[in-house]
Amino acid sequence: MNRLAVPWERYRLDNGLKIVLSQDRTVPVVAVNIWYGVGSRNELPGHTGFAHLFEHMMFQGSQHVPKNKHFELIERAGGTLNATTWFDRTNYFETVPSRDLELALWLESDRMGWMLPAMDQEKLDNQRDVVKNEKRQRYDNQPYGDWDERLQALMYPEGHPYHHPVIGSIEDLDGATLEDVAAFFSTYYVPNNAVLTIAGDFDERQVIDLVQRYFGEIETGAAIPPLPGDSRLEPIIGDTVREHILADVPLTRVIMGFRIPPYSSEHFAVAEVSRALLGMGRASRLYRSLVRERRVAKGVVTYAFPLLTSASMLLTWATGYPDSTPKELEAALTEEIEGLVEAKQREVDRAITLMETDLVRALEHVSERANLLSMFDLYFDDPDRLNHEIDRLRAVTVDQIRDFATSQLGSDNRALLVYEPKRNS
Amino acid sequence: MSGLDRTQPPPSGEIRHFDFPEVQTGALPNGLDLRICMLPRLPIVSVNLFLRAGEGSLAEGRAGTAVLTGDALEGGTRQRSGSDLAEALEGIGARLGVSTGWEGTSISVSVLADRLPEAFSLLAEVVLEPDFPSVEVDRVREQRLAEIRQRSMDPSALASDEASRRYYAEGLPYARPQGGTEASIRSVTRDHIRGYADACYQPGCGGLVVVGDIDPDQIRSLSGEHFGAWVGSPSVVDDFCVNPETRERRVWILDRPGSVQSELRVGHVGVARTTPDYLPLSIANLLFGGTFTSRLNLNLREQHGFTYGVRSRFSFRSRPGPFTVSTAVGNDVTAPAVREILTELETLVRDGPTEEEVDAARDYAAGVFGLHLETAGQIASRLNQIIVYGLPDDYYHLYRDNMRAVSTDEVTAAVRAHVRPDEVQVIIVGDADSILSSVEALALGPLQVV
C-alpha cells in the first residue's frame, strides 16, 4: 500500500535550470528551494571549507540586492530562510506567505545570475570571521567537536573528496580570495547545475511564467568539471582502523564508521533499514541492549549518510557512563552490530513502520517536500522517488540485512574513534 | 532579454486570508480540558496530554523529580516491560515523547491516523499505569547524572546555568538548572518517583489536545473511554515569587582554560507569560535580537564579525523567566563584544525603537505566525500553550490582529519597563587568562572569576 501521493510537475528552462513544482493550497505558504550540485567534495586541495564560505557570501547581496536586504525583505514578509552546505550539494531555501513568492524568486534569481558585481573584500573578510567563529563554536570549543574530521580521515584516503570536513581548516579559509569567489561562482553556480523547487500554495497558471521571467535570462554555464582528487575506493576499508583520543571530554565515547554502498546504489536501502534496526527508536537493538538492558551506554546515535561518491558511511556511536571503560563500550557496541546477522523479520517490520510515520510527518512541511523533491531531482533525475520511498524500503528483505551485516559490518570494514576523558580533572 | 526591471523588489500579491483552524473545546467530567482540531491534510495525528506536574513546584532538595518521573515513564507499565512498551508503540509507528518543564509535564504521541485507537490506549496506559521498575529508575537517574556531567563541560550549557544562578535569588526554582542538580538527582528514589506520579499525574488543571486527520466524535469517545474514570487534582502546585539575586550590575567569569571562544550571557530577571506587555515585548525582542536582521545580529555578526550569531530572548514562564542576550565570540573580541551588547541595550532603552523597525517586526510576527500552522504538531503545541498559561480560547484566532495593533509607543514603554541595562549580570565562560584584563578595563561593575 502506498499512502503517499505528493503531486509534482517538472520543466526545464532553455538555460538548463530544472524546475519542480508541487502544489498544495491548504495553507497559504510556499517554499522555494534550490539545490546546487556543488559541495565540499568539489573543493581543490588548499581550499577546504570554501564551498561553505561561498554559501555565506551568497547572502551578502547581489547586483540589485544590497547587503542584508535578502534577510530583511524575507523577514519583513514573515518568511524564514537559510542555506546549508554538505559534501555533495549546497541548498538555499525560503518559506514565505504565498503572496510573496515573487519576492523569493527575485532574490534567488538575482544571486544566481548577478552575484559577483556585489562582492568586495570587506564582505569576504567579514564572512570569513563569521565562519571562523562558526567553526570555533560548533567544533573547536566543543567536547568531541573534531570527531567528523577524524572519522572522515580514517574512512577516506587522502585525495578522496570526502577526506576533509565541510567546515574546512582555518588556514585554507584564511587563504580564500575574491578571485576564488568569482571562479567558484562561474564554475558551479550556473543554471545547468541547479534544481529549483516550488512547493505549496501557488497559482499553476502563473508560476512557470514567473520562473521564466526571473531565471530565463541567466546564461547557461560550461559543463561541470570532474571531481578533484581520486574518487576510486574499495567497497570496504579492509581492516579495523582506529584512533584513541585522550581529551577534555566528559564521558567515554566510541564512534564506529563503516563504508557502505553510495546513495545512488540500489543497495543503499539495505543500509538504511539496517541502520534503523540498530538505532532508530527505543525498541532498536542498540537502545534496547546497550542503554536499557546492559546499561553500558548513556545514549546511542546511528546514521546512514546519503553520500554519492564511491562509498557512503554508516555511523554509530555510544556514549558511556563516568565509570565505563572504552574496552567494554567497544565490545558491547561491536557485539550488537555483529548480531545483525541474526536479524528478525519483526524488527524489519517495526523499522519500516516507524520510518513511514517519520516521512509523513516530514511531509507536513512544504519546505521539507521542496527539499526532498530538489534532492531527488538533482541526485537521481527523479522527483517521483519521493512517492516511492516507502516501497523502496519495504522491498528490503531480512536476508539482505543479514548479508549486509556480514559483508559490511565486520572487523574488515571498521573505522573506530575512541574518546577517553583525561583523568586530571 | 525580457526587459524585466530587477532594481526593485516585486510587490507582494494579494493577501490570502487564513484563520487559525477551528477548535472544538470541551472538558471531561474530571476537569481535563479537551481541545480537538481537524486537520485532514495528511493521515497523521498529534496527541498531547499536559499535566500540571512541573519542576516549578518542587523544593530545592527534590529538584529534578518531575523530570526523572517523566524520563522513567518509558520504563514500563503494569501490563508490560519497558522493552515491550517500546515494541508496542513502535510496532504501530507511534513516537512517544515526554517533556518536562517548569509548569508541567507533556506526554505526546504522533502516529498515522489508522493506528490512533491503539496509540491512544498505549498513551493512557503509560500515564495511568506506570510501573517505575527499580532497574529503570536507576538507569534514568544514571543517565541524568551523566547528562549533568556533559553539561559541566559544554560551554553553552555552563553559561546558561551560571546565568540562572546569578539572575535569581538563591533557592528559587528558576535559579537552578531545570533538570535538577547532581545532589538533588542522587537523592531521588523510586519511592519519590512513585509518590510524585501518584500525587501529581492527575487530570485536574491538565489538558488533552488532539490535532490531525481525525473524527472529533471518535476522539471524544476515546477520551472518555481511556481517561473518563480518572479523577483527582495535583496535590502540589507551584507557588513562589521571583526576586533577582541583586540589582547591581556584575560580571562573572567562569574560567574554562583553553577555550577558543567566550560564551556570553547578558541579562536579568524578565517577565511572566501573563504580562499585559507580552505582545509589545515580543516585538521589541524581534527587532533587538530575535531575527537575523535584528540590531544585535547586524552589529555583532554582519558589521563586526565577532560571532556566528547572537540572539536575545524573553523566556516567558508562569513566573518571570529570564531576559537574556546569548552569543559566543572569539577570545580577542570578548571585551568589545560585551561593550557592544551593553551599548545596544542602553540605546534601545534610551531612544526606543524606530517606527520602521516596529513595522518590520510586526509584519514578521504576523507573517511567520501563518508559517507555523502547517503541521498537527505545531497546532497542538499552540493549543497546549492556551492550557498551560490559561490564555483565552480565541487567543490565536485574534493573535495577528492584536499583534498588528501594537504601537511604537507601547513597544518603547514596555522596553523601558522591563529592560534594565544597569542591572544586567554579565556571564562569560572562557579562558580567563586571555580575557580578564580587557573585560576588567570595561569597568562594568564588580567582577568575579569563579
Q: Return d(Cα A378, Cα A380) in angstroms, integer.
A: 6
- CATH fold of B24-227, please? Cytochrome Bc1 Complex; Chain A, domain 1 (3.30.830)
Residue in this structure with the C-alpha cell 510587490, named with its chain if needed = B11
pLDDT at B2 over 70: no
Residues A302, A162 share a domain: no
Is residue A220 assigned to a domain?
no
Q: Give the CA distances from residue A333 to residues A243, A249, A300, A406, B144, in Å, rounded to whole numbers and listed in that order.
A: 16, 20, 9, 16, 21
pLDDT at B236 over 90: no
Q: Which three cell numbers stand for residue A250?
A: 566528559
CA B433 to chain centre: 34
The size of the A-B interface in CB pairs under 8 A is 224
Residues A89, A25 share a domain: yes
CA B231 to chain centre: 29
Same topology for domains B24-227 and B250-449, yes or no? yes
Task: Compute φ and ψ for B447, nearest 5 degrees.
Answer: -120, 135
Query: Quick one: closest CA in B to A5, which residue?
Result: B42
Q: Return d(Cα B363, Cα B356) in angstroms, integer.
A: 11
Query: Quick one: closest CA in A to B301, which residue?
Result: A130
pLDDT at B237 over 90: no
Q: Does any CB of chain A come closer than 8 Å to the CB of residue B146?
A: yes
Q: Which residues contact A403 (CB under 8 A, 6 or more apart)?
A: none
The nearest CA of chain A is from the CA of B184 a distance in Å of: 18
Q: Return d(Cα B250, Cα A130) in angstroms, integer.
A: 28
Q: What is the pTM of this model?
A: 0.96
Chain B partners within 8 Å of A283 (Cβ): 83, 86-87, 89-91
What residues 362-391 of chain B have any CB closer than 8 A to a CB of chain A?
363-371, 373-377
Residue in this structure with the C-alpha cell 553510495, named with its chain if needed = A262
Under-70 pLDDT residues of chain A: 1-3, 424-425
Query: In this complex, do A250 and B150 lie within 8 Å of one another by their Cβ atoms?
Result: yes
Nearest to A353 among B4, B42, B93 (CB): B93
Region B171-183: mean pLDDT is 95
Q: Return d(Cα A336, Cα B263) in angstroms, integer.
A: 39
The nearest CA of chain A is from the CA of B151 a distance in Å of: 9
Give, to the nearest 10 degrees, the angle between helix A50-57 and helix A178-188. Answer: 90
Residues A246, A307 contacting (CB under 8 angstroms): no
- Could you report the per-residue pLDDT of B265-301, keeping only the tens digit for each? 999 999 999 999 999 999 999 999 999 999 999 999 9
* C-alpha torsion B181→A255→A140→A164, nearest 10: -160
Residues B312, B289 contacting (CB under 8 angstroms): yes
Is residue A40 assigned to a domain?
yes
Residues A251, A161 share a domain: no
The nearest CA of chain A is from the CA of B115 a distance in Å of: 11
The nearest CA of chain B is from the CA of A49 a distance in Å of: 15
Domain count, chain A: 2
CA B75 to chain centre: 25
Residue in this structure with the C-alpha cell 583525561, named with its chain if needed = A422
Residues A247, A208 share a domain: no
Nearest to A321 among B93, B142, B307 (CB): B142
Sign of the alpha-carbon torsion through B380, B385, B390, B395: negative
Chain A partners within 8 Å of B89 (Cβ): 282-283
Residue in this structure with the C-alpha cell 500554495, named with its chain if needed = A201
Q: Does any CB of chain A come closer than 8 Å to the CB of residue B237?
A: no
Q: Which three cell numbers stand for residue B325?
A: 542576550
The single-letter DSSP state of residue A37 is: S
Residues B309, A127 contacting (CB under 8 angstroms): no
Which CATH number goes with the domain that contains A130? Answer: 3.30.830.10
Query: In this complex, do A143 and B360 lie within 8 Å of one another by their Cβ atoms?
Result: no
- Could you report the per-residue pLDDT of B46-56, keeping only the tens digit for each? 999 999 999 99
The nearest CA of chain B is from the CA of A284 a distance in Å of: 9
Q: Which residues contact B124 (CB under 8 A, 6 or more apart)?
A: B226, B227
Task: Compute φ and ψ for B267, nearest 5 degrees.
Answer: 175, -165
Q: How many CB atoms lie within 10 A of CB B153?
A: 18
**pLDDT score for B14:** 86
SS (H, E, C) A163-202: CCCCCCCHHHHHHCCHHHHHHHHHHHCCHHHEEEEEEECC
Question: What's the complex ipTM?
Answer: 0.94
Query: In this complex, do B261 and A128 lie within 8 Å of one another by their Cβ atoms?
Result: no
By C-alpha distance, which of A238, A232, A228 is closest to A310? A232
Residue in this structure with the C-alpha cell 579562558, named with its chain if needed = B431
pLDDT at B1 over 80: no
Q: Which residues contact A387 (CB under 8 A, 6 or more apart)?
A: A2, A4, A5, A6
Q: Return d(Cα B67, Cα B106) in angstroms, integer.
A: 11
Query: Quick one: closest CA in B to A96, which residue?
Result: B371
Task: Compute φ and ψ for A154, nearest 5 degrees.
Answer: -75, -35
Which stretches of B129-277 are DSSP H helices? Answer: 134-151, 155-167, 182-187, 190-200, 216-227
**pLDDT score for A2:** 52
DSSP B17-54: --PPPP-EEEE-TTS-EEEEEE-TTSSEEEEEEEES--
Query: In this complex, do B293 and A102 lie within 8 Å of one another by their Cβ atoms?
Result: no
Work out the angle at residue B229's Cα, subtended by the Cα atoms of residues B228 and B230, and round it to the nearest 5 degrees. 95
Residues B152, B253 contacting (CB under 8 angstroms): no
Query: In this complex, do B364 and A281 lie within 8 Å of one another by their Cβ atoms?
Result: no
Q: Does any CB of chain A come closer than 8 Å to the CB of residue B231?
A: no
Residues A207, A146 share a domain: yes
Query: In this complex, do A282 and B86 lie within 8 Å of one another by their Cβ atoms?
Result: yes
Q: Which helix (H) or strand (E) holds A23?
A: strand A18-23
DSSP A69-130: HHHHHHHHTT-EEEEEE-SS-EEEEEEEEGGGHHHHHHHHHHHHHS-GGG--HHHHHHHHHH
Chain A partners within 8 Å of B302 (Cβ): 67-68, 126, 130
* Ramachandran class of B132: left when φ > 0, alpha when ψ lies in -120 to 50, beta otherwise: left
Residues A291, A205 share a domain: no
The nearest CA of chain B is from the CA of A124 a distance in Å of: 11
- Could you report the per-residue pLDDT of B325-384, keeping only the tens digit for each? 999 999 999 999 999 999 999 999 999 999 999 999 999 999 899 899 999 999 999 999
Is residue A227 assigned to a domain?
no
By C-alpha distance, which of B127, B300, B322 is closest to B206? B127
CA A71 to chain centre: 23
Query: In this complex, do B83 and A100 lie within 8 Å of one another by their Cβ atoms?
Result: no
What residues 76-115 of chain B have any CB closer than 8 A to a CB of chain A?
82-83, 86-87, 89-95, 110-112
Residues A169, A248 share a domain: no
Provide the 3-class DSSP secondary structure of residue A61: coil
- Could you report the per-residue pLDDT of B79-102, keeping only the tens digit for each? 999 999 999 999 999 999 999 999
Nearest to B370 among A3, A64, A97 (CB): A97
Pick among B359, B374, B400, B404 to test the A interface (most A CBs inside 10 A): B374
Residues making up chain B, counted from first to last: 450
Query: In this complex, do B330 and A128 lie within 8 Å of one another by their Cβ atoms?
Result: no
Decide which of A200, A215, A230 is a domain's last residue. A215
CATH of domain B250-449: 3.30.830.10
**pLDDT score for A70:** 96
**pLDDT score for B88:** 98
- Could you report the per-residue pLDDT of B304-326, keeping only the tens digit for each? 999 999 999 999 999 999 999 99
Q: Return d(Cα B228, Cα B330) in angstroms, integer.
A: 57
Q: Return d(Cα A61, Cα A120) in angstroms, integer.
A: 10
The nearest CA of chain A is from the CA of B413 a distance in Å of: 23
Instruction: Look up the domain containing A334 and give its range.
Output: 240-421
The nearest CA of chain B is from the CA of A142 a distance in Å of: 7
Q: Which three cell numbers stand for residue A24?
A: 498544495
The nearest CA of chain B is from the CA of A110 a distance in Å of: 8
Give, to the nearest 10 degrees, the angle between helix B408-418 and helix B355-371. Answer: 90
Q: Which residues contact A209 (CB under 8 A, 6 or more apart)?
A: none
**pLDDT score for B350:** 98
**pLDDT score for A424:** 61
Can you give the residue ranges of every domain in chain B? 24-227, 250-449
Query: What pLDDT band is residue B17 in, cutting at 50, 70 and 90?
Result: confident
What residues 149-168 of chain B have any CB closer than 8 A to a CB of chain A?
149-150, 152-155
Provide the 3-class DSSP secondary structure of residue B191: helix
* Bridge pairing between strands B447-449 and B250-255: parallel
Residues A222, A16 contacting (CB under 8 angstroms): no
Q: Give the CA distances from residue A15 to residues A12, A216, A219, B236, in Å, rounded to whole numbers and listed in that order.
A: 8, 7, 6, 68
Chain B partners within 8 Å of A251 (Cβ): 146, 149-150
